[in-house]
Every structure is written in structure tokens, then in C-alpha cells.
Structure 1
Amino acid sequence: MAEAHQAVAFQFTVTPDGFDYHLSREALKHIYFSEITAWKKRFIRFKNGILTGVYPGSPTSLVVIVAATMGSLYRKIDLSMGLIDRIEAILPVRSFLSPLSKTLISATLFSTGVWLCGIIFFRRTMKLLLCYHGWMFEPHGKRSLSTKIWAGFLKLMCGRKPMLYSFQSSLPSLPVPSVSQTIQRYLESVRPLLNDEEYDKMAQLAKAFQKKIGPRLQRYLVLKSWWATNYVSDWWEEYIYLRGRGPIMVNSNYYAMDFLYATPSSCQAARAGNAVHAFIMYRRKLDREQIAPAMALGLVPMCSSQMERTFNTTRVPGIERDVVLHLRESRHLVVYHKGRFFKVWLYHGGDLLKPRDLEMQFQRILDDTSAPQPGEEKLAALTAGERIPWAKARATYFSQGVNRSSLSAIERGAFFMTLDDEAHGYDKKNPSSMDLYAKSLLHGKCYNRWFDKSFNFIVFRNGKMGLNAEHSWADAPVIGHLWEFVLGTECFELKYAADEHCCGMMNSSLPPPERLKWEIPSTCMEIINSSYDVAKALADDVDFHYSQFKDFGKGLIKRCKTSPDAFIQLALQLAHYRDKGKFCLTYEASMTRMFREGRTETVRSCTNESTEFVQAMEGTIKTKAECLALFKKAAEKHQHMYRLAMTGSGIDRHLFCLYLVSRYLKVESPFLNQVLSEPWRLSTSQTPQQQLVMFDLEKHPDHVSSGGGFGPVADDGYGVSYIIAGENLINFHVSSKFSSLETSSPRFGNHIHHALRDLADLFNFQVHREEK
């Protein structure tokens, strides 16, 4: 019980002899250093707030301007054209101010004013420059003179060493497309999916909406865009994520895998120690804004607002809607192992624990043979099931006593970690090894992940790792950025000793991890078991297939002189048609982070051009040359749609917001009802590769990424995530449901492989076929 008492700083009891009190030095030490750290963070945030607020200016530039002004006065040259004298004249008369002092104060005030005006001018100019998106629509490698001039000015404005949030206030707001443009593009996108009668009916609904209800709804949306930072993002988070009452496991959460081939250490505790230390190093950089903002083409800044909630964040269940709880500071994490929860402090004596010390703490958990408390083992199933039962159980059974304290430890932790008792990873001898690995990361046992946390860090028995991320607070590229840093840092910077343990010496005097206590009544256990049954049924229905395509990668696609993303998307269209014999509404995620607080937009990959190409490939009339011409036309169309989505001219977010306005106004729109009810039977997403260059992939080919994936969006559809992992490797993560008679993930994976080979054959490239 010693470790339990260390969490209490002061205890007292009343005895016949008076008061008996006890002070815990360890807990008081934690409190002291926690306050010191909090004040350091406040100072850093204050300093960074100033530096970010005056960017691209700096205190150094202010000193230079003041010095130049003073120098000019010394030379009797008035750069202010009399303004310094006017400022001096209106200064209050003070006996202790000499004429020289008044002149110096006036010159300093003038210099500061010039400096602030320059900053405002530069920031306004940068905002105008960032509103230009013509560069995206120009052919690759062919820049117009106007774009070159624009790029030169933007590079001049961006400065040399921007901080993470330096460009936030300079980013433009997401524009609201016109109703007519959105409807025109929508009708064009559904044309290949509808017969003539269905299309005419939809066109009539769209025309009526555009003429009657649309303009009224649009006015409210434009009004919101004037005062809101982003007219989409808050509603998107609210209604797409937080108001969903179904399970977030599989349906919303997604996962990221470890290196495909390499396992730097097979010691579970050691791998966890290095990785956790790397996670907190990343958080420290995040708090200090030392992470460089993402830049498109190395020039156009992207919004960084999503990164703020990476750590210390939890989704808290509610009856009607959930809320996202984010804390500025957390000094611990909670670890789950074999049905037990442990609280592990990340700091000792004010310093972050070294990897070897973290390894020791995790090994202590692994060596602990105590049994789970009643109801503890499957407690996390509450986060995997329906949201309303979890919200009611939380309010009833976890609002006081030890349950409240233990739940608070989980929700207020930096993140959640599982020391898994299974072994997963790539096994060339076992074709289903990666399928099982993916399913474990996506849903696990349905009770060994805390799905509400911003992310779960999972370490398997054989040293393999992975993440499971909650989706409401941010999108996959943010988690991908974090994960690349952690993998690169733990493997190439922190490294491992020859015996595969973490480097350095351990501090054996550290207090052991604290076991969380629970008092779970039988009525609560019934809710836990019910949530588990719902989650287990959902998890068992997921048909997952990890597919390695080794015939070629981005190297050959580049030789085809086409976009790699368009190439793969057209292959997916061809594969889907071969799989189901029909086309479907296709979702491809793109980002709108060139705008402030931008998140995602949909690219409708099934177009008139892509369907024409697919039908030509499946027919016998068209020649190879004709098919190739149709492919290039379809690829160009896809790229155009992708660019429109990224520049704020997409279809679906605008229609989504118009629909919400109609619901607020209680206006019925048959057109919007029809649009929002259409299922996405093919949902796709590309995983970004090497956002950070932590190591040379050519020198370390075994450290290629496995990518990540997500569950199927529609009950009778497919979810496909892919990562172009190298010159000769593309990884696909295909998901569907066993309960659907129309789908089979392994079958679809095979169709994707054949489609990719057929596209390469169009360009007369002979590929070496290598099955996994």
C-alpha cells in the first residue's frame, strides 16, 4: 500500500490525544515541481505569444529600427519628417525628464510605431498572397511568371525560422462557394451513378432548391463566415463526431502501424520506454512551439491548430453529445496490462524520466502478478460500445469516491497506453499476420483500449507497436506527424543497447507505478458486459485485409507522368467495378489546412471521365491507345477535383453546412435530405509518407512505414487506406464487413493488384509480379 499513500500529500486523523497528521514527502515533491513546471510553461507561452503575435517581426528587428532612428538623430537627419518633434511636444511635462530624455523617448515611440505598422503591413500582405491558389492549377513543373513573382514575395514574407503558430493569424478564412457552383458540381458528380430518369428527378430537386430555399440558407452561411474563424470546422466536429451516439470503435477511430519489417528491440518494456520518452519530447516541442509548421511545396503554410489537442485530451461521453476535454498539462499516463490499470508518473524531481527509468516502470507492471479487481478487466468496453449507456454509467458510478479518482487519472493522462499480451507484426510465413495486426490496433479485445483518449499507444509482447486514435479532435496527418517523430526518435536518436534494453542507467529508487482502485457494483458490471457484447459483435464483423503491392511504387508512376494519387484512385475505380459490377459514390479525403482551422473536404473520385475509362478497359472495342487517352483525361479530371477541394471549392462541406442551417431554421429541403442520405460505399484515404525526414529511407529500407487504416463507412461498402511506401511498394489497408454478401476484403485487394498492373500495362511497362 506504500505506493497508494504517495499520492496523498497530507493526511490527518482525530485521536483521543489530539490530531495525528502525516506528510508525504514524495507527493509534496510532486506538487512543488509541478508548480515550478507550470510557471515555466506559462512564461514560455507568454514569450511565444509575443513572438508569434509580432511575426514576421521580432524584438531584434525592433532594436535595429530604434538604433537606426537614434543614429539618424545623432547625424541630425530626421527620418520621421517631424513626427518625433510632434510626439515630443505632446509628452507630459516632468521635471526629471531632460530634453535629451524626451527626444529619446519620442524616437523610441516613433520607431515602435513604424515597427508595428510594418508588421501589420507584412501580415496583411501575406494574407492576400495566401489567398492566391492559381499555382495549384498550373501544370507540374511549369510555373507562370505571375506565380514565380508570387512565390518570391511569399518567400520574402515568410521569414527564416517560423514557430508552429507563426502563420495562424495570416491564414485566410475558408471561402463559401456559391450555391450555383456547388449544385453544378454535385450534379456532375452523381451523373455516372444515376440513370436518366433518376438524374432528371435529382436535377429538378436541385433546381428548385437553388431557386427557392438555397439563397436564404446561403445568406446565413455567409454571415457565419464573416464572424467565425472557419464556417465548417466547429459544425463538422460537433455533428459528424461528437453527436454520434453509436460506437466510436471501428466506426470513427483509426490506427497507425509500426515499421513494416524492422523491430529495433524485441523487449516490450524497452520499446515502450524509448517511445514514451519520445512522445513527451514531442509534447515539449509542441508546448514550446518548436515544431516547424507544415508547408505545402515548402512555401505555403498550413494550419497548425489541430496539433494543440494532441496530448492531455479525452472525449467525455454525454447523453446528447460528447465533449472534448483538453488540459494544458499532464504529468502522468495510465497503462493497461492484463485487466489492470496503472498510473505511471512521467517526471521525477521536475525532470522527465529517462528511457531506462521508464523501461523499469513498465517492466514492474509486466512483472506484477496481481489479479484484476471485480469489473476492472473489461471496464474499457464502456468506451467501445454505445455512447448513451457509457454516459449514464459515468454519471451514476464514476462521479465519486475511488472510481471518480481513477477515472480522472485516465482522462487527465497525457495519453493511454496498453502493454498488450499478444504478439503481432509482419510474418512472411503467415499471410494473415498483418490482417490480425490491423484488427488488433483497430479494436483489440474491445476492452484493452481506452477509445475516448486522443490516442492509445499499444506495445505488443514481441516489441511491435501501434496507435489507435480518436477522430474528433484532429485528422490523420496530425497523428502521422507525431508517429513519424516518435519512430524516428526512438530508433535513430535514443537507440538501444546491445542487449536491446534502453541506453543508460536506471534509478531503482523510483517509486513503483500506482495501481488504480475501482469499486464497481454488479449493476455497473451489467452495463460493462452489455457494451462489450455490442463492441464484440461489431469487431467480429470487420473483414480486414492488409495488401502489399510490390510490383512497383511511386518510381514507375512518376515515369507515367501522372499524379500517384490519381493513378491509384483510378485503379480503385477499376477494381471496384470488377468487384461489384457497378460504380458507387466514392469518398476520398483531402485537407483544407491552407485555410485557418481547416480540416477535410471530400473528393468525389467517381466521375464521368473515370467511369468512361473503366468501361473502356472492360470492353473490347477500345484500343490500348484509346484507353490510355481516356486514362489521362480521367487523371486530369481527378487532379482538378482534388485542387478544387483543397482550395475551398469542394461540394460536400458546403452542402453539409447548408443542411444544418435548414435544420436550425426548420426548413425542409428534399434536395438536401437526398444528398445527405447517400451512402459512401467506397471510402478512401492516402496516408502521408515522411512528413518529417528523420532518417534516409534508402539507407534503411527495412524501416519503411506500414501505414494505417480505418473501418468500413457503409455496411455494404469498403474502406481503403493506402500509403505509397517507396519506389517499389504500395501498402493497402482494406476493410469491409463479413455480414455483407456483396463485399470481401481479400477479393477486393486482389482486384486492386490486377487493376494496378493493367494500368502499368497501358504505358507498356513490364512489371515484375511479386505476391506477398
Structure 2
Amino acid sequence: MAEAHQAVAFQFTITPEGIDLQLSHQALRQVYLSGLRSWKKRVTRLKNNVITGVYPASPSSWLFVVIAILATMYTRSDPSMGLILLIVPKTNKTLIKVFDSLSVQCRTVVSAVLFSTLLWLLLIFTMRLCLKQLLSYHGWMYEQHGKVSNTTKIWAVSTVILSDTPNLLTTQPVMVNKGEVCTFTYLESARLLMSDSEYERMTTLAKEFESSLGNRLQWYLKLKAMWASNYVSDWWEEYVYLRGRGPLMVNSNYYGMDFLYVTPTPIQAARAGNTLHACLLYRRKLNREEIKPVILNVPLCAAQCERIFNTTRIPGEETDSLIHWQDSEYVAVFHRGRYFRLWLYHAGRMLSPREIEHQIQHILDDPSPPVTVEAKLAALTAGDRVPWAQARKEFFSSGVNKRSLDCIEKAAFFVALDDDEQGMMGDDPAGNLDRYAKSLLHGKCYDRWFDKSFTVVLYKNGKNGLNAEHSWADAPIMAHVWEYVMTTDCFQLGYTEEGHCKGDVASSLPPPTRLTWDIPAECQERIERSLAVAQTLADDVDFHVLPIQDFGKGAIKKCKISPDAFIQIALQLAYYRNRGSFTLTYEASMTRLFREGRTETVRSCTSESCTFVRALEGGESKEVCRHLFRTAAEKHQHLYRMAMTGEGIDRHLFCLYIVSKYLGEESPFLKEVLSETWRLSTSQTPLQQVELFDFVNHPDYTTCGGGFGPVADDGYGVSYIIIGENMINLHISCKHSCPQTDSHKFGADIKKALMDLLELMSPEKPDPSKAEQNHSKNSKKDL
């Protein structure tokens, strides 16, 4: 009953003298400190709201304008051209009469301040309007490296003058593309994958769509683009993610890995202490709006950052929902089938890494066994969504189950303490690295809460990683968090010589609280069925992680080719060698140049890349292949720029399809486009905070990136990250059930393709024998 006594803030009894009130000073102190922390956060947010509210000006600029206006008035000049005198009430006919009790001089000063404020607000509005127009310019993306036009130079200078980029700055809404451009671009990308008869049929469908339904649907999208902050993102989140009824595990969730070669400490609790504390530091910076915006000449929209913490996906029978709480002072922890609530704040302060280590060790040492089926409860989040929604409504809507479920769903994030050891280790480092990836992707199918915004996984040997839910944000957002957590863990927080976290432990810390459950037999059957579905899906995943150290961005840049284009064309070459044909290829591109932007598709399989692959495999000369390769790379870069600047076609066609469904209209063209299979799905994980990593002095502290499951049953999923100048890490997934796919074979094909392209495009070294002959000839001429 100790926990019950700690939960009571005060007690009172009725006595003959009246009410005897016995206050618990410790409990009231906790209430006071918690409220103090909340008010500090409110004050910080208020300050940030004032600063961002007057952006691109600053609060101090108001004082400057006021002083400037007053100074000009005392020099007997009137910058307002008589407007200030209209405000000063000299007669009953003046505009404002509220200052009658003030002296003439005082009234003049007040009027000047009012005029200055109005002038300041007008300047802010004008600057904002100009800045919006400047941020809508994307011509800089289409210019060649080293060749900057005068227009872009003027744009860059004007943008710098008008903006001192604030934290979490958002940008313009995405502009709606023309329907004719979409159909033309689609047909161009689909031509090489269709027979003549199929292409002719799709061309006919596209023309019919343009001339009839397309214009009507386009009108609705234009209307939405004028009204909404982004005409794509809300529908994309709802229909692509939240309305999906299949398992999140493997199909939607993705993972992020630890350092590849280094494990900072072998003590599981210590690694948890630093990792969780670093997560809290990031959240504090986020709440205070101190996270530096990612800049790509212009700031990228950071709206997705709002839901990193305290967010959960709630299952529904028709559609799920995302619930975000303003704050949460604890995390939910899973270990050996038990669930715990771990408070991360005490006495109004954040727990130190050493204190979190102490609390985690308390959980690891807890000998209590799980109740019946409690260990496999999270399998409900790994299976199909409808059974989970029904079970949640039937068995978790009241009583102890609701309280425990609320504790998990309202937690800052989820923590899984695994008994396994993972990483690139032992006699089979490559095989263990593959198993490490699979463990992060799906685990045992019941030891991750797949509905939480993210789950931090900590292994017995000190290795860590994360599993993230996809609907609330895209991978670069979570990658930004994880980069900060990893580097803060190792380079700022650090460990003692024994491998423990630094610092001391307060003696008054309350222990973690065990969550309790009352799971009836019928619910147990639902859990087992969800686990069977999830286990079948997990067992079918064939995964391979391939670190390539032979070359990286440095070698590619010497070829004067975009690294992303280089890798994407290598993937086309590898797939052709692997399957003997080309396929529709998906590459994710961000659209965060726009407000609330998420992603767009780059159709990487182009006629130019296919022509190059056929020429290379057909034995064409190096000169021909080099020319075709550069042409393919330029086309890929053009498509990528179009996707980033709102000129992609797939999200636009998706929105047209949604509008058609709302109107009850059928479009054969849109139906076929949206039902196509992406057998090769690719994504690059960008390294965003390069300044946090020191690959020169600490080359072993190399992040491995992350990956995702296969999108198509007979296809591949490929995630890659370019590390520094000399390394590329690939994460390749497919399914065992498809006899045509093999992740290890495809990985070998990709590596060979990269090497072959590097050999093709590398500058040729001079032949020593020819150099000697030329030297002899020149010597004879001199004689």
C-alpha cells in the first residue's frame, strides 16, 4: 500500500472541533514544482510566440521605430505628413478624445507612439509579403554547380536582408500542378514499362480524363489549395496511413540503428540512462523552440516536429487517429513481459542519466513474473488494425486495463529492454547485423508498442536502436532526433571508466510503478490471433544490411555526378541484372520547402536510365556509356528538383483520385495509375547534423542509418545513407515467399553496380608507358 499513500496529496477527518486538515507537504511541494515547470514552459512559449509573431522584424525594432519618429518630431519635421497631428485632440472635432486629461506634449508623444506602432506593423506586413514571394522562388535548384544566374544572386541577397531565419519557420503552401502536365509526365514515365498496345490504351484514357473529369477535379484542388495550408498532406496522412487496415509492423513502421562499430558501454541500464536523458534534452529544446531549422538555402518546414513526443496512434475500425498530448513526464517501459511507468522528472527537475540508469536497473532486477498473456499484449499493435480496434473498445475501455493502457498511450515514448544481444559482432558479423535490423523492425512481434510515435530499444549488451511509427512524420524527422541522441550520449554525457552514467542518485526517488492488467480469456484469444498474423509477416521478411566502405560521396563527386543520381542509376543497373527487366521505381523526395509538406515521388526508372543500362550491358564503348550515364543523371536530378519544388505528379494524381471518390465519380485512368505496383521502393536517409559527427578523429562512430520493409510482395525495399566521404550503408528488404527475390543477392548486385559505375566514370589515369614515349618525342624535338 506504499504507492497508495504516496498518491494521496492530503487527508482530512471530521472531529468535534471541526475539520482536521493534515496536509502532505511533500506532495504539495511536488504539485508546486510541477506547476512551476509548466509555467516556465508557458513563459518560454509566450516569448517565442512574440518573437515569431513579429517576424521578420524583432520586438526591439519597434523601439527603434518609436525613437526614430520621436527624434524627427523634436527636429520640427513631421514624417507622418500630418497624421500624428490628426491623432492629437486639439478640438472636439478631432478623431480621438480619450487623451483630454493629458498635457499637449504628453498627448503628442502618445500619438507619435501609436503612429510608430502602426507604421511598424505595416512594415512587418510588407516584409512578410515580400519574403513569401522570395521563398516561392525555386530557380536556384535548377542551376548547375558553380554557375549562378544574376536572378538567383539577387534573390539570395534579398532573402538574407529580409530574413534572420527563426526556429521552426514554415513556408509557402504547395502550388497545384496543371492536370495536363501530370498526365503527360505520367505517360512519359510509363512508356518504357508498357507494350505498344498498353501505352496506346493508357494514352486514350489520359486524353479522356483531361477532356472530361480532369478539369472538374482540378477545380476542387485549386479551391483547396487556396483554403488549406497544404492541399496534399492531410489526405496523405489519412488515406495512405491512418485508413490502412493492415499491420503497421513491417508494412509501415521503420527503424534506426546505433553506431555501426562502437558500443559506448556494455551496461544496458547505463546506455538507457544516457539515451533517455538525451531524448529529454531534445524534447526540452523542442519545447523551447531552440532546435535550429534545417536550411536548404531556405528553411524547411518543421511542422512534423510537433508530434515527435507524447503521441500515439489510436486504432479504429474504419480509420485510426493520432492523439498528441502537450506534455508527459514519464515513459512506458517493457521488460520480460511486464510493463512499468518510469517517471523522468522528480522535484520539478529532469532526472540525471545516473538516476535514470538506477531506475532502469530497478526494473531489470525486478523478479516478478508477468500475468497471463501480459507478455504478448503488444501483439495487438502488431497485427491487423480492425481486431485491435475491437479489442481495445471491448476490453480496454474501463477499469484497470484502461488505466494501464492510458499510461502507455500518454507516455512521452515507449522503451523496450531486450534480453538479446545485437550488433555487428561475433564470428558472423554480417549475419548478426542482418538479425539486428530484423530485431529493430519487428522484434518478437510483442515487445514493441508499434502504435507509439517511437520505441527506444535497448539490448542486453548495451546496443540500442529505435522503431518509429510512420503516420505522424517522415523518417528525416526521427533521424534528426536520433542523430542528436547518439552524439549527445557519447560525446557530451559520456560514461565513467566502469561504463556507468556520470553523476549521483537522489535518495528520495520513488521506484518505477508496475502496470497491472486483467485480461479475460476471450481477449487472450484475440492477442494470440494477432500474434500469429504478425509472426507470419515477420518470418517472411528477408533482410540484409550492407555497409560499403570501398567508396563514398568523395569518389562519386570526383566523377562530377550527383551522389543520389549515381546510386539511383546503380539501383536500376542492379535490378536489371537481378531480374532481367526494368520496373516502376519509387524514390521518396521531401516537399518541406512548403508549409506542412511531406513527400513526393521521384520516378527513378526513366527512359534515359534504361537506355544507359542497355548500352552498358550491350557492350557499348566507354565514351557512349559515359555520355548516356550523364544524360540519365541529369534527368534524375531534374525529376528530383521538380518533386521538391511541388512539380511532381504522384501526389497531385493521388489528390485528384480522392476528389473523384468524394464526388462519386469513376476514373479508369486514375484507378489504373493508383493501383500500379512499386516493385523497387527506395529512400535516402540524409545525414542532417554533420557538425555533430567527427568522422576524421572518430571514424568508428559511424551511424548505420535505418531501413523499412518491402512494399511489394515480389519487390525490394532499399534504404541508403551516405556517411562522410568514404562510406555508404544499404538496408535491403524483400520476402522469402517470393522465389524471385533475395536480399543478399540483390545487395551483391548493387555493390557490383556501384563499382562498375565508379570504374566507368572515374577519370582515366595516364598510361606511364605513353607518358614516357611522349617525353622522348618532346626531347627529340627540343634537340
Q: 1:440 to 1:100 in 2, by over 3 A?
A: same
Which secondary structure does the structure 1 equivalent of 2:732 belong to?
strand
**Contact 1:272/1:362 (<8 A) preserved:** yes
Query: Matches of 1:30 and 1:525 in 2, distance apart?
Result: 39
In structure 1, C-alpha distance between the alignment counterparts of 2:131 and 2:19, rounded to whole Å? 67
Q: Equivalent of 1:109, from 107, 110, 114?
A: 114
Note if contact 2:546-2:729 (Cα within 8 Å) is conserved in structure 1.
Answer: yes
Larger radius of gyration between Structure 1 and Structure 2: 2
Give the letter for the 2:361 counterpart: Q
Contact kept? 1:485, 1:692, Cα under 8 Å: no
Q: Distance in 2 between matches of 1:504 and 1:427?
A: 30
Aligned partner of 1:152 in structure 2 is 157
CA distance in 1, matches of 2:328, 2:287: 12
CA distance in 1, matches of 2:662, 2:22: 58
Pick which of 537-546 and 94-103 moved more.
94-103
- Determine helix, strand or coil for the equivalent of 1:43: helix
Where does residue 599 of structure 1 map in the other structure? 598
> Which residue in the other structure is 1:206 paired with?
206
Distance verdict in 2 for CA 1:325–1:10, change over 3 Å: farther
Name the counterpart of 2:35: 35
> Aligned residue for 1:476?
475
SS at match of 2:692: coil
How far off its partner does 1:766 sit?
A: 9.0
Amino acid at match of 2:221: L
1:421 Cα deviation after fit: 0.9
Contact 1:163–1:290 (CA under 8 A) maintained in structure 2: no
Structure 2 partner of 1:517: 516
- 1:320: how far off? 0.5
Report what 1:488 is aligned to.
487
User: Of residues 690, 699, 724 in structure 1, which corresponds to 2:722?
Assistant: 724
CA distance in 2: counterparts of 1:584 and 1:695, whole angstroms: 37
Evaluate the alpha carbon distance shift between residue 452 and residue 25 of structure 1 in structure 2; reply closer, same or farther with a 3 A threshold. Answer: farther
Of 610, 630, 636, the residue aligned with 2:628 is 630
TM-score, with structure 2 as normaliser: 0.94
Identity of aligned residues (%): 58
2:166 aligned partner: 163
**Deviation per residue, 1:129-169 (Å, 9 max, x gap):** 0111111111012101110111010111121xx4323x32x
Give distance in 2, aligned partners of 1:731 and 1:330: 35
Instruction: Answer yes or no: is the 8 Å Cα contact 2:559–2:762 preserved in 1.
Output: no
> In the alignment, which residue of structure 2 is the partner of 1:770?
none
SS of 1:548's equivalent?
strand
Q: Residue 143 in 1 paired to residue 148 in 2?
A: yes
Change (3 A) 1:93 1:376: closer
| CA distance 1:13–1:437, change in 2 (3 Å) | farther
Residues of 1 paired with 2:649 and 2:573: CA distance? 24
Deviations 1:157-184, CA, capped at 9 Å, x for gaps: 121xx4323x32xx21101100000101
Q: Is the 8 A contact 1:266 1:500 kept in 2?
A: yes
SS at match of 2:339: strand
2:58 partner amino acid: S
- Compared with structure 1, are the counterparts of its residues 507 and 98 closer, same or farther at alpha carbon in structure 2 (3 Å cutoff)? same
Unpaired runs of 5+ residues, structure 2, are 90-94, 766-783
What's the CA shift string for 1:503-528, capped at 9, x where partnerless?
11111321110111111111111111
Deviations 1:711-740 (A, max 9, x none): 000010000000111222111000000011
Tell me how far apart the structure 1 counterparts of residues 665 and 395 of structure 2 sit (CA, whole Å): 41
Corresponding letter in the other structure for 1:125: C
Deviation sequence 1:311-370 (CA, Å, 0-9, x none): 000000111000000011111111111111110111111001111111100111111111
Unaligned runs of 5+ in 1: 768-772
Aligned twin of 1:70? 70
Q: Does 1:528 align with 2:533?
A: no
Paired residues for 1:416-495 under 5 Å? 416-427=414-425, 429-430=427-428, 431-495=430-494
1:636-657 Cα shifts (integer Å, max 9, x gaps): 0000000000010101000000
Deviation at 1:428, TM superposition (A): 6.6
Q: Is the 8 A contact 2:440 2:466 kept in 1?
A: yes
SS of residue matched to 2:589? strand
Deviation at 1:81, TM superposition (A): 2.0
Residues 24/345 of structure 1: CA separation in 2 closer, same or farther (3 Å cut): farther
Moved more, 24-33 or 522-531: 24-33
In the superposition, the TM-score normalised over structure 1's length comes to 0.96
SS in 2 for 1:199: helix
Among 123, 127, 146, the residue aligned to 1:122: 127
Paired residue type of 2:699: P
1: CA distance between counterparts of 2:186 and 2:730?
A: 29
Show the counterpart of 2:342: 344
1:12, CA displacement in angstroms? 8.4
- SS of corresponding position for 2:700: helix
1:543 counterpart residue number: 542
Counterparts of 2:676 and 2:477, CA distance in 1: 29
- Does the CA-based 8 Å contact 2:558-2:762 persist in structure 1? no
Task: Go from structure 1 to structure 2 and tell me whether the alpha carbon gap of 1:545 and 1:323 turns closer, same or farther (over 3 Å shift).
Answer: same
Q: Which residue of 1 aligns with 2:137?
A: 132
- 8 Å CA contact retained: 1:4, 1:515: no
- Cα separation, 2, equivalents of 1:766 and 1:200: 45
Q: Which stretch of the first structure deviates more once superposed, 456-465 or 63-72?
A: 63-72
Give 1:40 deviation, angstroms.
2.3
Distance 1:710 1:186 in 2: 26
More off after superposition, 722-731 vs 41-50: 41-50
Counterpart residue type for residue 522 of structure 2 = T
Contact 1:247 1:384 in 2 (8 A): yes
Alpha carbons 1:6, 1:26 under 8 Å: kept: no
Matches within 5 A, 1:625-664: 625-664=623-662
Distance in 1, matches of 2:397 and 2:14, equals 27
1:609-635 CA-to-partner distances (Å, cap 9, x unmatched) read 011111111113x11111111100000
Distance 2:533 2:79 in 1: 75
Counterpart residue identity of residue 390, structure 1: W
| Residue matched to 1:761 | 759
Distance 1:19 1:70 in 2: 63
The match for 1:404 is 402
CA RMSD, Structure 1 to Structure 2 (Å): 1.9
Check whether the contact 1:343–1:409 (CA below 8 A) recurs between aligned residues. yes
Q: Per the alignment, in what secondary structure is the counterpart of residue 378 of structure 2?
A: helix
Query: Residues 452-501 of structure 1, C-alpha deviation per residue, up to 9 Å, x if partnerless?
Result: 00000111111111111000000011001111111111111111111111
Who is 2:680 aligned against? 682
Q: Residue 163 of structure 1 aligns to which amino acid in structure 2?
A: P
Distance 1:9 1:92, change over 3 A: same
Shift of 1:385: 0.5
CA distance in 2, matches of 1:344, 1:746: 41
Residues 739 and 25 (structure 1), Cα distance of their counterparts in 2 relative to 1, 3 Å cut: farther
Equivalent AA in structure 1 for residue 143 of structure 2: E
Deviation digits for residues 556-604 of structure 1 (CA, Å, limit 9, x no counterpart): 0000001000000000000001111111100000000001100000000
Residues 710-719 or 285-294, more deviating = 285-294
Partner of 1:309: 307
Cα drift, residue 529 of structure 1: 0.8
Q: Size of the alignment, in residue pairs?
A: 757
**Shift in Å at residue 47 of structure 1?**
2.0
